[in-house]
Each structure stands twice: as C-alpha cells, then as structure tokens.
Amino acid sequence: MRFGAADSAGVRRIIFWRHGRTEWNARGLFQGQEDIPLDEVGRQQAREAAAELAHLAPARLISSDLARAADTANELASLTGLSVHLDARVRETNAGEWQGLAFADIAARFPADQEAWRGGDPEVRAGGAESRVDVGQRMAKGTLDAAAGLAVGETLVVASHGGAIRAGLAALMGLPPHLWSSLSGVSNCHWSVLEELDGGAGLPTRWQLIEHNVGLASMPSTPLEG
C-alpha cells in the first residue's frame, strides 16, 4: 500500500528514511557512528527519494547528526521548506570495535558475537558497545519527542540509519525483543512508515507498520545494517 498526503486526515504518521549510499556501504564496511559522507550515488539517491517524499507533505523533519543522514534530510528540506532538526538519539548503532571493518572480518575476529548479532540477539553489544535494545530505546525516545509536536493528520520524517531504524520500529511497535529479528533491515534511501493507532479508553497510543523498506525502482534493495 502506498499512502499519499490526501490519506493522512485523522492520523499521525512517522516515516523512517535511511540515508543514501556511502563509499563504506559500497565496500561492505560497518559504519556505525563513524561520520562517513554520502558518495555521488548516495547524493543522487537522496535527491530522487526526496522528490517522492515531498509529495507526502511532511510537517516536521528530524535527522541523525551524522553527515550521511543530515545531508539526505537536507534534500527533502530544500523541496519542502522544512528545517532539519538534528538529534543524536537517532544516530546509527555505536558498533565499537566493529566500526570500519568488513562484515567478513567481523565474522573472523568476533565469531560468537557476530553470529549472535546476525541471529537477532537483541542484547548482544555490537563491537562491545551498543545493543539493539539500547538503540531502540533512544530511537523511540527521540522520535516520540519529535512526534509530540505533530497535529492530527501530520507526518514526521526521521532521516536515520539501517540498524537504528530497524530497532526503532521494533521498539515503537512494542515487539518483544526476541522478535525484533522478524523485521528486515532497510536499504539505502528506502523508507518505512508507522501509523498511529488510537488506544482509546485511556490506553496508550500504539503504532502500526503500514509500509516497510519502500524505495524507488531505480534503487537496489540491499538492507545491510551498519
């Protein structure tokens, strides 16, 4: 299902948008919180995806403070007139010793932790640093703080990172951590959409996933984290 601006009346929505490609993405390196810029392909992806997302008339735009996400967000800002609000809480996973390593090298040097990570263990710490639960908690807090300013019918765009988006979606939907691996990752410049569900009768707001890992046909679907 693809929603449009005309469909937004009565609900609030959050769009999680992964940054465009970087050289490290192309080389298969785990970026984590290293501040790696977009490459030329990534800049073109950001321009093309921004043109699509602009049709959805977002009301608010926040971004990770890492350049690859912030520069992606700026492409949407230039089309919509929105300001980009930077928030370190929607950064990628801090992957400690894994940052800058190829996934094959991580598997060779840290086989047990890497196998647990690939298997979806939410508690294992990437490179000895953050777990997916850590990331999901800060992603949810940063996102909900931004969404609190939305009026009914408005949409928030969060420019972030593959692993962070996956953890944030799972946390916001209230999935038990052992089920977080049931969500796939998000490819470069693809996006996922949550829609608010009214809990009613004093119950808390819930969030429903209505689109996941959506992108333009011109962009490859390679949802690796990092």
Q: What is the pLDDT of residue 223?
A: 60
pLDDT, position 58: 98
Residue 34 annotated as catalytic: no
Cα 223 from Cα 209, distance rounded (Å): 17
Closest residue by Cα to residue 91 from 48, 62, 124: 62
Across the chain, which has 226 residues, the per-10-residue mean pLDDT values are 54 96 95 98 97 97 98 98 98 97 94 89 92 96 96 96 96 93 93 86 80 90 64
Which one is catalytic: 19, 161, 190, 212?
A: 19
Contact between residue 38 and residue 50 where contact means Cβ atoms under 8 Å apart = no
How many Cβ atoms sit within 10 Å of the Cβ of residue 91? 24
Query: What domains can you pick out in the chain, each with its CATH number?
Result: 5-214 (3.40.50.1240)
CA distance 128 to 108: 16
pTM summary value = 0.93
Which position among 92, 130, 195, 225 bears the catalytic label?
Answer: 92
**85 noted as active-site residue:** no
pLDDT for 123 equals 87
Length of the chain: 226
Residue 88 — φ and ψ, nearest 5°? -65, -15
Q: Report pLDDT for 154.
A: 97
Give per-residue burial for 183-194: e unless 16+ CB within 10 Å, then b: bebbbbbbbbbb
Distance CA 41, CA 195 (A): 30
Task: Return the closest-CA partner of residue 159 out of 224, 225, 77.
Answer: 77
Q: Structure tokens of 6? A: 């005309």
Phi and psi dihedrals of 160, rounded to 5? -145, -145
pLDDT at position 200, please? Answer: 59
Q: Report which DSSP code applies to 119.
A: T
At residue 107, the pLDDT reads 93
